[in-house]
Amino acid sequence: MVETKTNTENSVVKKYVKFGIVAAVIVIIAIIGIFALRGGKNVSAAEAVSEVTTDAPTGADLRLAVIRMDAIQTDAKALQDLRKQKESYEDKLRSELEKKQKALEKEKAEIEKSQDVLSRDALQRRVVEYQGKVTKLQRELTERAQSIEASFQKALGSIQEKHLDPVIGAIIEKKNLSLVIDGRFARTGVNVNNLDITDEVINALDKKVSSFKMDKPKGF
């Protein structure tokens, strides 16, 4: 009985992420380590901060705001449109994969049935050919899934650079804000009025851009 294995059946395409931020952190840590190894004067903390000014913003000077980036990603029209495009490509890829999987399953069954009929060499050739098709399908699936993600991430970056960042900058200027914090990492009290400007950002972004076409991924 010839046994063949395929990772294609019931496979799940893994998402790929960029490691630029991680790489940057590693470089920074390395630089810090180098400076830490260098010799220097052993001064007190007071001497170390001798040139630090006493200037600091007062409560009356600070104008703060919070933006929930997760809400913008979910509710902004352009980003909703972008996700639909991505899902459409993923659905198409999934449909094509299912058809090819069924064809491979059928071929596998035929090989198993013919094992008592074919010669050892002929059977081996069919097995090798089948395994080659499985490998090719796995490679094609991975490459096309990566291409979808790459096109999606490129479009996200374009929306942020060309539309979202200018909108946030304009709101910061109009409200004369000192600091804007990502709401996902902020903890605020219930009695703070006008702190969350997420809805205003979404409304302004929708006016600036309501749809954005991502590049067609390779293989589609």
Supply 35's token pair.
């400076």
CB proximity list for 2: less than 8 A, separation 6 or greater: 111, 112, 115, 123, 127
Residue 217 pLDDT grade (very low, low, confident, very high; cuts 50, 70, 90): very high
Q: Are 217 and 93 in contact (CB under 8 A)?
A: no
Domain boundaries, the chain: 63-208
Q: Which of 151, 166, 170 is nearest to 212 (CA)?
A: 151
Which residues are CB-neighbours of 141 under 8 A, at least 6 positions away? 8, 11, 13, 93, 97
DSSP 182: E
Would you state the pLDDT for residue 61? 77
| Confidence at residue 117, expressed as pLDDT on a 0 to 100 scale | 82
> pTM of this prediction?
0.67
Residue 20 has pLDDT above 70, yes or no: no
DSSP-derived pairing of the beta strands 64-67 and 179-182: parallel
Q: What pLDDT sits at residue 124?
A: 87
Q: For 24-72, write each residue's pLDDT tens digit.
A: 333 333 434 444 445 556 778 888 888 888 887 777 778 889 999 999 9
Convert the pLDDT of each residue in 131-140 to its tens digit. Answer: 999 999 999 9
Average pLDDT taken over every residue of the chain: 80
Dist CA 218 CA 148 (whole Å): 8
Percentage of the chain with pLDDT > 70?
78
